[in-house]
Amino acid sequence: MVAIATDRLTKIFDDGTVAVDDVTIDVRSGEFMVLLGPTGCGKSTVLRLVAGLERPTSGQVRFDGRPVDDIEAGDRGIALVRQDHALYPHLTVAQNIGFPLRSGGDPGPEATGRITEMAEQLGIVDVLHRLPGNLSGGQRQRVAIARALARRPAAFLLDEPLSHLDAGMRADLRADLTALARRNGTTTIYVTHDQVEAMSMADRVAVLRRGVLQQIGPPAQVYGDPATVFVAAFLGSPRANLFQCAVYAGDGRVVLDLGTQVIDFPPDEPRSALLAGRHTERATVALRADALRPAPADADGPVLHGVVRAVENLGHEVLVHLETGGVPTSPAESRLELPDSVRPLSGLLAEPERPARGGRWPGLGRLIPRQRAGGRPTARTRYGFYPVYDPELPDDQSTTGDLVVRVPVPATPRIGDRMTVSVDLDLLLLFDRAGDRIRL
Ligand SMILES: Nc1ncnc2c1ncn2[C@@H]1O[C@H](COP(=O)(O)OP(=O)(O)OP(=O)(O)O)[C@@H](O)[C@H]1O
């Protein structure tokens, strides 16, 4: 099977849209690579460039190390399946699967054997004689996949092939497709905006945002060790809780100041020393539900307190939304770039309002949510606004000021209850104002 590489691939469309921006990805022979990102991030364009359906503005696509710029799409030996499966309506399932074999000049009996083999692998033997119009959406997509794989392509490209299907069919086909690709050892590039598909199917996942590659790695690594705040926010269900904070070190304490409360770090350890070196820096703290555990109100160690605002019962567990007074920034408002916000905080601290050294916690309580005319709370600090959230995340994926915590069903609290959660500092993720990870 072929190894596919994109080398500094860039695609700028005639209208000036930069769809793919300097993307370098190596897909190993036989690997299942998932391109993941929100709509419009350039996933399909990368796929179309690999397939030869678009020409790059700059950069190269290579198969087994050889540039394929001069090879037409039809001669690249790859199969492409999209969500709109485009079967021939007047041909039976068997004829559809066999179609590429016929045009490829395969002898009859061999083609018939291959059709049966593919139908068996995709669980559609029973419908071989039917016309596509008499199939379910899931069956049609299975036929499209069987047809694409029938002529043993060197690589298999799939563009959101499951997005039209209902949840049950999607889950079935997801598992079958992964097993099929692995069994045949086909190099596969699979495009999706669905993180569950990415996490469950990929050998490695490449996360794209606005045409730029954010991170590439095995799913568990990208989830657990995200390189950017965008990746942290995009992967995971429930979504990571993102809060603005300021690093504060003084009086023998190292804290992340969330405005109305703080996350304490034990003072005598290496990561606290690292953090202390960032004293007064503004950052984003990402807390996944995995990092939070209900705790007694007087628990030792780093904790956050809140009031239960909503309870989502998922059957096996409960997601509790806690109002903690933390400061989110809406995606729309994160576009704000006030002139102040590009000035280093140290400079601002040098100004007359600078708090006295060694005094009480001047940083605490400075991050106060303030209601603006538009009604949305925004970060209001003495240091100005704070555009740390990602405008690319659609509204339903953006965070509110809530902290979402998993709670076992028997311990379900009521709305209005006060709750304390302990914070696992090993799982706490911190990002600088550019959205890049601060590794502690
Ligand atoms: N032919 C074109 N001309 C101009 N702009 C284009 C063209 N094709 C795509 N784009 C733009 O390029 C960007 C990337 O598009 P692309 O389809 O690759 O994204 P995507 O991540 O696959 O999104 P989706 O999941 O919605 O398909 C988008 O802003 C899109 O509008």
Decide which of 352 and 51 is more confident: 51
Evaluate: CB of 17 within 6 angstroms of ligand 1. yes
For residue 151, the model assigns a pLDDT of 85
Choose the final residue of a domain: 209, 230, 251.
230
Identify which of 406, 400, 399, 440 has the alpha carbon closest to the alpha carbon of residue 421. Answer: 406
Domain tally, the chain: 2
Choose the final residue of a domain: 211, 230, 249.
230
Kindly state whether residue 72 falls inside one of the protein's structural domains: yes
At 321-377, the pLDDT tens digits run: 998 877 654 433 333 222 223 333 333 333 333 334 433 333 333 333 333 333 333
Task: Look up the domain containing 186 and give its range.
Answer: 4-230
The verdict on 162 and 212 lying in the same domain is yes
Pairing assessment for the beta strands 282-287 and 429-431 based on DSSP bridges: antiparallel
Distance (angstroms) between ligand 1 centre and the Cα of 272 equals 43
CA–CA dist 268, 265 (Å, integer)? 9
Cis peptide before 344 (omega within 30 of 0): no
First and final C-alpha spacing in the chain: 40
For residue 127, the model assigns a pLDDT of 93
For residue 155, the model assigns a pLDDT of 94
The verdict on 16 and 43 lying in the same domain is yes
Choose the final residue of a domain: 203, 230, 257.
230
Evaluate: CB of 193 within 6 angstroms of ligand 1. yes
- How is residue 199 written in tokens? 């996490």
The verdict on 284 and 382 lying in the same domain is yes
Phi-psi sector, 383: left (phi>0), alpha (psi -120 to 50), beta:
alpha
Evaluate: CB of 37 within 6 angstroms of ligand 1. yes
For residue 328, the model assigns a pLDDT of 59
The verdict on 316 and 186 lying in the same domain is no
The verdict on 94 and 223 lying in the same domain is yes
Could you tell me where the beta strands, DSSP code E, fall in 176-296?
A: 187-192, 204-209, 212-217, 241-250, 253-257, 262-265, 282-287, 292-295
Say yes or no to pLDDT of 320 above 50: yes
Evaluate: CB of 38 within 6 angstroms of ligand 1. no
Q: Which atom of ligand 1 is nearest to the CA of 193?
A: 25
The verdict on 225 and 271 lying in the same domain is no
Distance (angstroms) between ligand 1 centre and the Cα of 13 equals 9
At 103-127, the pLDDT tens digits run: 555 557 778 888 999 999 899 999 9
Tokens 């860039």 -> residue? 10
Evaluate: CB of 41 within 6 angstroms of ligand 1. yes
Mutate which of 21, 41, 160 for ligand 1? The one with the most ligand atoms within 8 Å of its CB, which is: 41
At 14-49, the pLDDT tens digits run: 999 999 999 999 999 999 999 998 888 899 999 999
Say yes or no to pLDDT of 383 above 70: no
The verdict on 126 and 259 lying in the same domain is no
CA–CA dist 389, 229 (Å, integer)? 8
The verdict on 406 and 367 lying in the same domain is yes
The verdict on 194 and 255 lying in the same domain is no
For residue 113, the model assigns a pLDDT of 87
Decide which of 259 and 14 is more confident: 14
At 122-176, the pLDDT tens digits run: 999 999 999 999 998 889 999 999 999 888 899 999 999 988 888 888 888 898 8
- Output the CA–CA distances (angstroms, integers) from residue 349 to 136, 386, 392, 402, in the order listed: 65, 16, 32, 30
The verdict on 87 and 198 lying in the same domain is yes
Please state the rounded mean pLDDT for residues 221-247: 87
For residue 105, the model assigns a pLDDT of 53
CA–CA dist 131, 290 (Å, integer)? 48
The verdict on 104 and 211 lying in the same domain is yes
For residue 103, the model assigns a pLDDT of 54
For residue 68, the model assigns a pLDDT of 96
CA–CA dist 385, 328 (Å, integer)? 11
CATH number at residue 10: 3.40.50.300
Give the ipTM of the model, two decimals please: 0.97
Number of alpha carbons in the 13 Å side-chain half-sphere of residue 128: 18
